[in-house]
Amino acid sequence: MHEINEDLARRLIDSQFPQWSHLPVSKVDHNGWDNRTFRLGDELSIRLPSAEGYTLAVAKEQRWLPLLAPHLPLPVPEPVAEGRPEFGYPHPWSVYRWLEGVPASPQFADGNVSDPTAFATAVAGFLVALRACDAADGPGPGPHNFHRGGPVSFYAPDVERALAKLGDEVPAGAARRVWEDATESKWQAGPVWFHGDVAFGNLLVRDGTLSAVIDFGTSGVGDPACDLVLAWTMLTGPSRDAYRSTLGLDADTWARGRGWALWKALFVLERALESDDDAEAAVQRKVIREVLVDHERERFAL
Q: What is the pLDDT of residues 72-90, one digit of tens each?
A: 999 999 999 999 999 999 9
pLDDT at 302: 56
Q: Would you say residue 299 has pLDDT above 80?
A: no
Domain final residue pick, 72, 97, 122: 97
CATH number of the domain where residue 296 is located? 3.90.1200.10
Stated pTM of the model: 0.95
Residue 222 forms part of a structural domain:
yes
What does the mean pLDDT of the chain come to?
96
Q: Which of 62, 89, 81, 101 is nearest to 5 (CA)?
A: 89
Q: In terms of domains, do 289 and 177 share one? A: yes
Q: In terms of domains, do 83 and 143 share one? A: no
- Percentage of the chain beyond pLDDT 70 is 99
- Name the domain count of the chain: 2
Residue 257 forms part of a structural domain:
yes
Q: Would you say residue 260 has pLDDT above 70?
A: yes
- Percentage of the chain beyond pLDDT 90 is 93
Q: In terms of domains, do 59 and 156 share one? A: no
pLDDT at 2: 64
Cα distance between residue 125 and residue 104, in whole Å: 17
Q: In terms of domains, do 69 and 152 share one? A: no
Residue 1 forms part of a structural domain:
no
Task: Please report, in angstroms and rounded to a whole number, the separation of the first and last CA atoms in the chain.
Answer: 55
Region 272-276: mean pLDDT is 97
Cα distance between residue 189 and residue 95, in whole Å: 35
pLDDT at 109: 81
Domain final residue pick, 82, 97, 112: 97
Residue 157 forms part of a structural domain:
yes
pLDDT at 90: 97
Domain final residue pick, 97, 131, 149: 97
Q: In terms of domains, do 54 and 200 share one? A: no
Residue 109 forms part of a structural domain:
yes
Cα distance between residue 254 and residue 244, in whole Å: 9
Q: In terms of domains, do 172 and 60 share one? A: no
Q: In terms of domains, do 129 and 34 share one? A: no
Region 11-28: mean pLDDT is 97
Residue 119 forms part of a structural domain:
yes
Q: In terms of domains, do 156 and 281 share one? A: yes
Give φ, ψ of 126 to 5 degrees: -60, -45
Q: In terms of domains, do 64 and 201 share one? A: no
Question: Are 236 and 245 a contacting pair, CB within 8 Å?
Answer: no
214 lies in which domain range?
Answer: 102-301
Q: In terms of domains, do 177 and 128 share one? A: yes
Q: In terms of domains, do 187 and 41 share one? A: no
CATH number of the domain where residue 66 is located? 3.30.200.20
Q: In terms of domains, do 45 and 117 share one? A: no
Q: What is the CA radius of gyration of the chain?
A: 20
